[in-house]
Structure formats: C-alpha cells, structure tokens
Amino acid sequence: MIDYTRKNFSRLRSSLSQNFKLTISLFIRLTLKPFCNLIDKTIYFFLPKDKKVITSSKIALIVSTPRSGSTFLYQTLTKTLNTIYFSNFHQLFPRLGSKFIFNKRICKKNFTTLKNFYGHTTGLRDVNEGNELIEYWFKTRDTSGIRARFLQTMEWFHYRSKNPVIIKNVGIYDRISDLYHAVPELIIINISRNTSQAVESYLKAYYELGYFNLIPNTIKNKPIIDPVKSSVDIFLKIQNILNNNLDKIPNKNIIHIPYEEFCKNPNFYIELIAKKLQIAPNLDLINNISIKASQSQKISDIDSQKIKSYLSKVKKASKVIN
C-alpha cells in the first residue's frame, strides 16, 4: 500500500511557504483523521442502514495522468452540478460526511478562482482525492469484493439522496478497468493535457516535493539519475498504462476531455457530463469561476527544452516501430 501519510507530510512542508492556510488545514486533518475515523465508524454502526443500494449511470469517476487538470475539473463540476462528492470533510468522516456536507445546498456565491496545491484543497467542503477510499475498494482484487465495497461506499455517500456521485482519483490509473468490470454502470471522465505542459508540471512537483508521485510498480525501484528524463519516462509510462486500461472499457462509458478545450468552452463539457449524469447544470455559476488554461513555463529553459527533446525522440522512435 502507498504510504500516503509520508507523502502528505512532504506536501505539507512544501506548501508551508506557499499557502499557510492550506498548510494549517492539511495538518489539522492529518492529525485528527485517526480519531475522527474512529468516531465516524462507531456512530455509523448504530445508525439504520439502507437495505438496498441501487446504482445507475449516475456515478462518475474522474481519471487522468498526473498534473493534467483533474482537480481543477473536479472543483468546477462540484460547483456547477448538484452532485455528491468526496470532500475534505469525508476524509475525516467518510460514512457520515454526506449527512452534514449535503444536508443543505452548498453556497457558491463567493468563489472566483479554483485553487489547489498538487491535489490538496483548503476548505472542509472542497474536493479531496480520496486515496483511502480507493484503497478500501481494492482491499482485495476479486471482482465481487470490489463491487461490494464500492456499493457500500455509495451507501455512505448517498445518505438517501438521489443526486449523482462524482469521485476523482489519479492514482487509480492502473486499476480503472478492474473497477469498471466490477461496476459496469460507472461513467469514466478522462481529462488529458498537452503532454509537454503536464510533464513540466510533473517535474516541478518533483523539485518542490522531493519525489515523483504515482510511479508504476515496474519502474518503482529504478534510480532517479536524471530527473528531467525520469519525469518524461514515468509520465509516459503512466499515460500508457492509463490508455491501456481505458481501451478495455466501452466508449459509451467514457467521456474524454482535453484540458485546454475545457478551459476554452467549459459550458459544452459541463452540459455533456450533466446529460450523462441525467441532471441539469447551473451554467450561470460558471461565470463566477476563473477558467484559464495554464500555458506558462513551470521550470527552467534548459529543463523545458530537455523535456521537449526527450518527447520528440520518443515520438520519432514510436513512428519507426509502427
């Protein structure tokens, strides 16, 4: 199992100088999480349970390669669609979170810019990666077990609500097809980004955090000699595994969204997703959100040129093989 606690504290140190409010929020959540989870589990044990959880096409999972805009998309969708999602509050109270977070419609009057620090957000109502949730689903790899635990978490989320659920997780890239086979009613939302821009951001994260996130098991023990080349190799490996998983899922269950195109025309994609989830979007809210695709260079000129050179070589090599 991935050591999320160690990596979260690494992010905590890195964010300290950049976002004090987020740092305090993350530190409090990580500190209180074991105690809150115990309270959550204890109280839930005594609550009446739904005898049957019926799933439909109203459950969506956002996936992507690292640094490709998935958190940004997640924040946008949860602020413009009447959905249930995994929040920072759910990280503390996974079973009871929806009872308190969604008992009233969330106020969206004052949001103008969507911010996150490598997937971490500040407010208790804001989105959360939900790594613990994914690990719970895959406690065992048998299809029936995955489905049973998935449906159990849907019972937690819905809390007798009929609203659709949207979940986002980047780390599930190598298990998406397994989840689909267990839950074939699932809708996959795949957001992709200009590869060069995404790799630059991935390398920047390495420089700031001190590690590459989500390294595939097949190359996990490979030493990092040249961080620039490693960022390209790891990213492309993740991309390849993700695409292979998506190829095993019917197209009717996948919505592909280019990050740059989403920023240019968010209403089109929000309406597309809303239609798939069988709900009506509140497109007026999109005018209150700052949506702009980041095209800025995130690293040094030398590193940026190296990335472009490595990607070009990979592309040429691929053409020769084909």
Question: What would the pLDDT profile of 274-319 be if each residue is shown by its tens digit?
Answer: 999 988 887 777 666 667 766 666 789 999 999 999 999 988 776 6
For the question of whether the overall pTM of this predicted structure is more than 0.75, the answer is: yes
Number of Cα atoms under 13 Å in the Cβ half of residue 92: 19
Helices (H), the chain: 4-16, 20-46, 70-80, 88-92, 97-101, 131-137, 143-158, 176-182, 195-209, 227-246, 259-264, 266-277, 301-321
Considering the segment(s) 4-321 as one domain, its CATH architecture is: 3-Layer(aba) Sandwich (3.40)
Q: What are the boundaries of each domain within the chain? A: 4-321
For the ranges 104-108, 187-191, 218-222, the maximum mean pLDDT occurs at: 187-191
Q: Distance between CA 105 and CA 284 in Å, rounded?
A: 16
Higher-pLDDT residue of 243, 124: 243
Most confident of 35-49, 196-210, 235-249: 235-249
For residue 6, the model assigns a pLDDT of 53
Q: Is residue 214 a contact partner of residue 129, using CB atoms and an 8 Å limit?
A: no
* Positive or negative torsion for Cα 131, 116, 176, 196: negative
How does pLDDT run across 47-97, given as a tens digit for each residue?
887 666 555 558 999 999 999 999 999 999 988 888 899 999 999 999 998
